[in-house]
Structure 1
């Protein structure tokens, strides 16, 4: 399997490229503002075609370059054969955000600058936006052939924030090493092994969590989400967040104060 990351220059949002193997269809996750060139480079370097885009939620810093990436991939012949429009999947509660990501995200700096002022170009809504399949919240679904993904609703940062789980068989991989889940024995580092991966957007970061003070955020929902995830997600799961370094659920159990609080107070209306 191929699993790589590029980082958008605006707000340092992580963008991931996933594919079952070389010369196959790929899913690009969260192409934020300025991420299109790096994502396209990863597609081309592995001979991949863009089969789908997956958005973990609808905030501007995770969606802005979606159309730019699709158009650039099409120009380079890196779009899945027979695709009229590349499908763009987003959790249904956040669909409305793609009409105006900057406005609905509500980021305004002290200078009065909005996200749209920071982005490399204007927002262009993709032509084929779809809700993530409802069936995918109870069983894995293939957005491209050979890549099965299952969703877990995780509201709090936004109404539609979700985790996307998949099983990945990887040899030596930079993201797994960064998370502390890589093979420690250098003599066996090139051997493939299985990992449970969670693309978790802005729900859990290494040592922190996503903010809840933007429009649609809810601190009580976030505590409930974190408490649920703490019990439902295996400690061995590798978390690939929307910002910052890869981590594991086990590491966050040990070192994330927000997760520790949620395990005690999650769902408490007085929180």
Structure 2
């Protein structure tokens, strides 16, 4: 596994090994030649070949590398259908923020499905719908490796913002309490921004959502 922090938004692109030489790329945020060089060097050093592009959600910072993944590897991103409107808004967001962006590629013909179990090589991932930051946000849970690719739901000592279109603070709190905090404390969360954390640490000390799933609206 490796994580690259990319683009002007310091977005974490997560890459997991499928156990058979393949790489799963989550939320590709590569947006400069230097970032693509780092990405390709990390892959080459490990001898991994990208097999799939999976999106936790489709905000601009998480999709900046999608066109490059299609151009370089022929891999179209997979996304939960509920977040397709967010995906279509990414070029508008890029213009608003003044961020250069290649044309968005078509999504993969096989969308993600909430509750599904995806298998790539020897790696199995559970897909769980976790709205609140974005309508179609999902997390990917590797139970065997006790790892969660968490996107922008839960951060170390914080949570995803809810003031963007489709965001809802109470829905986010429910997603965290019912999906993430239901996992064992020793599961590692790989968030879309910032350092990794664990479920146990956030249940104990997160000031926004405690172990009871309350607190977000009380600040």
TM-score by length of 2: 0.87
In the alignment, is residue 86 of structure 1 matched against residue 86 of structure 2?
no
Three-state SS of the structure 2 residue aligned to 1:259 is coil
The residue correspondences of 1:190-205 to structure 2 (distance < 5 A) are: 195-205=145-155
Three-state SS of the structure 2 residue aligned to 1:236 is coil
Q: Deviations over 1:120-143 (max 9, x none)?
A: xx3322244345432xx334212x
State the alpha-carbon separation in 2 of the partners of residues 129 and 71 from structure 1.
14
Which residue of the partner structure matches residue 139 of structure 2? 163
Which residue of the partner structure matches residue 17 of structure 2? 19
Which residue of the partner structure matches residue 115 of structure 2? 138
The residue correspondences of 1:168-207 to structure 2 (distance < 5 A) are: 195-207=145-157
**Offset at residue 54 of structure 1 (A):** 0.7
The alignment covers a number of residue pairs equal to 216
Three-state SS of the structure 2 residue aligned to 1:41 is helix
Q: Deviations over 1:134-171 (max 9, x none)?
A: 2xx334212x3322211111100000111110145xxx
**Offset at residue 16 of structure 1 (A):** 1.1
In the alignment, is residue 126 of structure 1 matched against residue 108 of structure 2?
no
Which residue of the partner structure matches residue 182 of structure 1? none
Which residue of the partner structure matches residue 114 of structure 1? 96
Match for residue 235 of structure 1 among 175, 185, 210:
185
Shift in alpha-carbon separation, 1:209–1:102, aligned structure 2, 3 A: farther
**Offset at residue 33 of structure 1 (A):** 4.4
Which residue of the partner structure matches residue 186 of structure 1? none
Which residue of the partner structure matches residue 46 of structure 2? 46
**Offset at residue 230 of structure 1 (A):** 5.2
State the alpha-carbon separation in 2 of the partners of residues 88 and 163 from structure 1.
15
State the alpha-carbon separation in 2 of the partners of residues 207 and 265 from structure 1.
13
Structure number with larger C-alpha Rg: 1
Q: Deviations over 1:192-236 (max 9, x none)?
A: xxx311111000000000000011111121122122135422211
Match for residue 6 of structure 1 among 4, 14, 21:
4
TM-score by length of 1: 0.71
Three-state SS of the structure 2 residue aligned to 1:216 is coil
**Offset at residue 264 of structure 1 (A):** 3.1
**Offset at residue 53 of structure 1 (A):** 0.4
Which residue of the partner structure matches residue 258 of structure 1? 208
Which residue of the partner structure matches residue 31 of structure 1? 28
State the alpha-carbon separation in 1 of the partners of residues 62 and 112 from structure 2.
19
